[in-house]
Structure 1
């Protein structure tokens, strides 16, 4: 929904340059849902990595509000954010070359995307258990709206981050475009 709406919006409005590194020449011929399933199937990352990856993308949009998630960048944003989440969340994870094969990009490109994401986030990759739980609840509500009754696995080992150190965007009452529209 978000990428469709932003695709129409971006045709009439200049897009910020923050996400240019993530833009492909053309949109991949795979749906977002199938792409996420592929990442999950082949990387064996924990389900919490997808929630944390979602947090990263939302943080990115708060830090760079002129940026839009569109069909040309969403797949690269997803594989990169899930990979970084896996590195911070999971005890064991595959290397960048493996994620690159799964994600359909070159290893060199994924290395660049990872660095770009980290710099765009100011290396703010820690997620408190409170923020994690709030994103899980939001995603479950989105799934209910879309006719899915599945619960999100909430196995989460809290990182030693105080709630005080969270970015201000997560402490505001306003919802980001990503949270209000959803990723699908």
Structure 2
């Protein structure tokens, strides 16, 4: 008879959690999102600069561990990546986090978050090398990311805390738990603990989708103004044709 996996208690506040545990939580959520969204057929108008022609050979967990190891990324920069996913997916509904987009999205999000929240951060050449893509491509992805998110790069500390709590609550293996759950939602929002730069932010609970619609994490779409639907551009049609022809070939994260 197999023994039940040992459960690990985590601190109530995300600022106190070990980075390794946070990486496992985020990778678990992204794996589930990708498994869901990979079932959605790709259309030309949904093709973005974040798409690889085939899924990279490195798992999201190992990729995140690599980024953390070589860039010393802070907890807030890891957590806000989930907020960025929700914001972009709500504004551009055709974009989904899949096995073809996740790695490029992650390294771009962490690059931008580090510049936004950290007093000390690396230059793009370092993030590009760690992420396995050319620096010119990271620069291009950074510009596209900022356009897609409309430069809304911050959120409240409470929103990040709710992402953290829900990552623990929905972890697929049930390995982690927060014993003092009630204290995690009652932490005050004084100015010295607030990540907000201005404006209200969504705080609805995380929901697990069971349909074939693109799945996000935690977002109140009523607070956002989605982009109007656009026909595929000539570039997208050409890229989609090339993608269809060469999708069987090996592809690195970049």
TM range (shorter): 0.7 to 0.9
| Greater RCO, 1 or 2 (C-alpha within 8 Å, sep 6+) | 2
Equivalence map 1:102-141=2 (5 Å)? 102-141=130-169
Equivalent pairs, count: 169
Verify: 1:5 aligned to 2:40, yes or no.
no
Please list the CA deviations of residues 117-156 of structure 1 after superposition, one character each: whole Å capped at 9, or x if unmatched: 111000000111121111111112133x4233277xxxx9
- Pairing of 1:168-179 with structure 2 (within 5 A): 170-171=202-203, 175=207, 177-179=215-217
Superposed, 1:13-162 pairs within 5 Å as 14=43, 16-17=45-46, 20-143=48-171, 145-149=172-176, 157-162=193-198
The Cα RMSD (Å) is 2.5
Q: 8 Å contact 1:56–1:81 — kept in the other structure?
A: yes
- Gap change, CA 1:150 and 1:92, over 3 Å in 2: farther
Q: Is the 8 A contact 1:79 1:99 kept in 2?
A: yes
Unaligned runs of 5+ in 1: none
The runs of 5 or more residues in structure 2 that have no matched partner are: 1-31, 179-191, 210-214, 219-254
Answer whether contact 2:81 2:109 (CA < 8 A) is retained.
yes
For normalisation by structure 1, the TM-score amounts to 0.81
Structure number with higher helix proportion: 1
CA change 1:87–1:157 in 2 (3 A) is farther
How far apart, in 2, do the equivalents of 1:91 and 1:174 lie?
A: 30
CA separation of 1:16/1:157 partners in 2, compared to 1, >3 Å: closer, same or farther?
farther
Helix, strand or coil: the match of 1:147?
A: coil
- Name segments (4+ residues, structure 1) moved above 4 Å: 171-176
TM-score normalised by the chain length of structure 2: 0.60
